[in-house]
Homo-oligomer: A and B are copies of this chain.
Amino acid sequence: MTYCVGMKLDDGLVLMSDTRTNSGVDNISVFRKMFTWQVPGERIITLMTAGNLATTQAVISQLEERTKAPDERDNILLQTPTMFQVATEIGNLMRDIISGRQDANGAKGRGRFTASIIVAGQIKGMEPRLFMVYPEGNFIEASHDTPFFQIGETKYGRPIIIRGYDSAMSLEDAAKLTMVSFDSTLKANLSVGLPLDLQVIKRDTYEASHEHRITHEDPYFQAISSSWGDALKNAFHSLPDYSFYHPKD
């Protein structure tokens, strides 16, 4: 499994992904799921991937080969004029890779090679944008009503984001909120694991304003994880008490 969150805020974008991949519980590995390409001062584009690792690596490899050889015909990420087109190109690439695998494996391949990708970034002269690309190649964009996307193991960490998110919150607070959401998920699902990758893209900087890999030894994440339990208990006790004799049955 995997857990990735992308959040759009007034001040920019906050992105976080875990690094655990597993094929059964006895075969786990660490793979980075966050990939960034930038032209300083002009654009930054970050992808976070969930799903079949061979599929997502194929997508990233094809994109990277293209970015590494600037004289080739398609340099999608660095030359595409808009984030919308970036999402379109990534969707097409992923759809082709998945359908190629499925065709080669016949009926057995249905659904086995699927993946999802969160695409985030900003290109100069335009707004920061956040997309979720589906295995079929189509995609949706974050809006005022749905300002964040999750992929992978989304449920454990969702209630706190729903309750805590505010588009006007600082990027620091959004990073903190994302860590709390990851902490709840890590506590519940073994297939989501440390280290975590955090990236913050401040609006109109066209670069990664902050990048941080959170390991087991990270003192801030340890503090969040241990104090969140107490904070939740205090929050719980601050609620009105229930009485068996109060409600009219």
Q: Which residues of A contact B (CB under 8 A)?
A: 155-160, 162-164, 171-173, 175-177, 179-180, 184, 187-188, 200, 209-213, 218-220, 223-224, 227-229, 231-236, 238-244, 246-247, 249
Contact = CB atoms under 8 A, between A and B. Distances in A.
A21 to B, nearest CB: 20
Instruction: Give the interface SS of chain A, mostly helix, strand, loop or mixed.
Output: helix
Contacts of A179: 242
B241 A155 contact: no
B241 A172 contact: yes
A213 B224 CA distance: 37
Contacts of A212: 247, 249
Given A172-B244, A224-B239, A240-B223, A160 B211 contact: no
Oligomer copy total: 2
A50 to B, nearest CB: 16
Given A163-B229, A234-B235, 17 more contacts: A158-B188, A159-B187, A159-B188, A171-B244, A173-B241, A179-B242, A209-B244, A210-B244, A210-B249, A211-B249, A212-B247, A213-B249, A220-B240, A223-B239, A223-B240, A224-B239, A227-B240
A240 B224 contact: yes
